[in-house]
Amino acid sequence: MHAAPDATADTAPLSWYSRLVLHYVGRGPFLVAEHGELLRRLVDHGPASGVAESERAAARMRAQAPGCPVFLGPGAVPSGAFGGIAAFDVLARGGDDEKTVADWVRILAPGGRAIVLVPDPAGRGRALTDGEWAGERPGNRSHDDWRQVFTAAGLRVHREGSDGLIRGPYGRIPPLLDPRTAPARTQQAIGTLFLNPGEGENAVFVLEKPAD
């Protein structure tokens, strides 16, 4: 498996995540799934709440984002209550992903958007690690498979792409010296999504609930 990223590597995606939400989703109200540090950042830009699948995860989110409401499970979230959902690395964890996506559709207001990051086993990240892939989980879907799940639930794909090669090492070269990781670092620095599907570790989707 890949070596655990250092603190700098952890901070860069978190900053990128928050900038992606603000750029593509808007200014809330936001619902953040399972990510208290991201919730803490987004509450500075508009109303924000969290949602977690377990009491333990909900308590952790409340500790990381003091004062922010945290729902226990998407079923507790009112319908149409949020203009944006942030779900980074939430799906493909062994739960009922189709039900979770259906809950997001219910929770979103018409015209609302969700930004979702999911593992992409067909992407370049796996190809470069000879099967020793950090995102390996049972039942993983490819980018195209995830697109089908989202559109079948009634969501439109506003934008789609990849996080790029964000982990490493991909061979013997340290990640910061590996030119193959430069596009991902540039994408993070810009704070948008320009890498094409399949170019990295994970697929990224900006999804929209139709307004009509």
State pLDDT tens for residues 18-59.
Answer: 999 999 998 789 999 999 999 999 999 999 999 999 999 999
Domain positions in the chain = 7-207
Cα distances (angstroms) measured from residue 201 to each of 108, 166, 184, 188 = 27, 7, 10, 14
Say if domain 7-207 classifies as CATH 3.40.50.1100: no
Are 115 and 204 a contacting pair, CB within 8 Å?
Answer: yes
Angle at which helices 182-190 and 7-20 cross, to 10°: 50
Mean per-residue pLDDT over the chain, rounded:
88
- Rounded to two decimals, the pTM is 0.90
Q: Is the pLDDT of residue 134 over 50?
A: yes
Q: Is the pLDDT of residue 136 over 90?
A: no
Q: Is the pLDDT of residue 11 over 70?
A: no
Q: Which residue has the higher pLDDT, 127 or 115?
A: 115
Measured at the alpha carbon of residue 60, what is the angle toward residues 56 and 65, in degrees to the nearest 5?
A: 150
Q: Which residue has the higher pLDDT, 212 or 176?
A: 176
> Averaged over 5-12, what is the pLDDT?
46
